[in-house]
Amino acid sequence: MSGWQLYEAKLLARSAMHQGWHALGLIRRTRYYIPPRSVWGYVVSQAAAWKEVQGEGACRYKNAATYLKDRLLFTGLFFEYEDNEGWHCCRPAYEEDGLNYGDFSAASFEYRFVFSQASAALDPLRLTALDGALHEAEYLAMTDPVSGGRVRYRGHLFVRGLEVQRLKTLFFQPVFGGSRGYGWGETSLDGELTPCTGKFLGAFEVKEGPDGACLVETETGGYAPAPVLVEGATEELIGDVEVLTGRAWDAGAGPGRKVDSGQLCWSPGSRFVRSGKYKVGAQGVWSKNA
């Protein structure tokens, strides 16, 4: 199997986007980017249909994840918008005044691009709202409300041993995040997957470890494009820290019934204050390479 290759992907927004973050009262807040875990969930669900993947039912999804973890990894996919001057990326970046998104503070980004919609689950027998079911979900706009320009999500793929045509098919019209049943989260590939050489995002370079692992060499001043495990890197970055957890497939109970053990991570946008080498994990989490 050949070494790791880097591609840049750009996905046009075709509908509103909700990436679950946390609840604030009745409001289900959204992240302002598509995290690697969300991308991972999508590609595993699609790869389960590939002929190289064996098994039935839940076992097939597990085997798809095993097949992909040595072949396809990701950074986050970050929001960018279009105006008369072109495209502007709003990748998170931790500065002295806190977390910014491109040229916007977090508050300014939210004011311009984040909206919400109220809804309630209905009792199918009575066609009335269930008790406690009223909620409001935030979402990212599919167009810039100021310029009217398009919105898309841009990130990087670490690829080994997969044909570009298969990747293009995989990312032709991917769907991410929450409320997909209501038409949210729809995207489409914008142009081609662009191969990248040398450093990406100005501070990172892809290497292959002795065991075949995907490694990234970081430079001081770079902003993490993915979550980074705090363990082993407590003094390597500055920024926000969060516990990453979520619901996964349980072989006995079905989808969403297993709660993952939490991982304490530096959030995307945290700034590296020391150079180092990090291993890219299957769900996009970086960990300090010894």
| CATH class (in words) of the domain with range 5-288 | alpha beta
CA distances, 11 to each of 155, 204, 224, 226 (Å): 9, 22, 20, 18
Supply the pLDDT for residue 53.
80
> Residue 281: what pLDDT?
93
Which residues, given as ranges, of the chain have pLDDT below 70?
Answer: 1-2, 57, 121-124, 126-134, 247-258, 290
Give me the pLDDT at residue 133, please.
66
CA atoms of 154 and 264, how far apart (whole Å): 25
Helix (H) or strand (E) holding 36: helix 36-47
Structural domain boundaries of the chain? 5-288
Give the CB-side neighbour count of residue 88, counting CA atoms within 13 A.
15
What pLDDT, on a 0 to 100 scale, did the predictor assign at position 216? 97
Length of the chain: 290
- Contact criterion met (CB below 8 Å) for 101 and 109: yes
Tell me the CA distances in angstroms from 199 to 34, 164, 257, one per residue in order: 22, 21, 40
Estimate the crossing angle of helix 57-68 against helix 36-47, to 10 degrees.
120
Residue 108's nearest CA partner among 135, 81, 86 is 81
pLDDT, tens digit (0-9, with 9 covering 90-100), for 177-212: 887 877 899 999 999 999 998 899 999 999 999 999
Confidence (pLDDT) at 26:
81
**DSSP designation for 198:** S
Per-residue confidence (pLDDT) for residue 248, from 0 to 100: 66
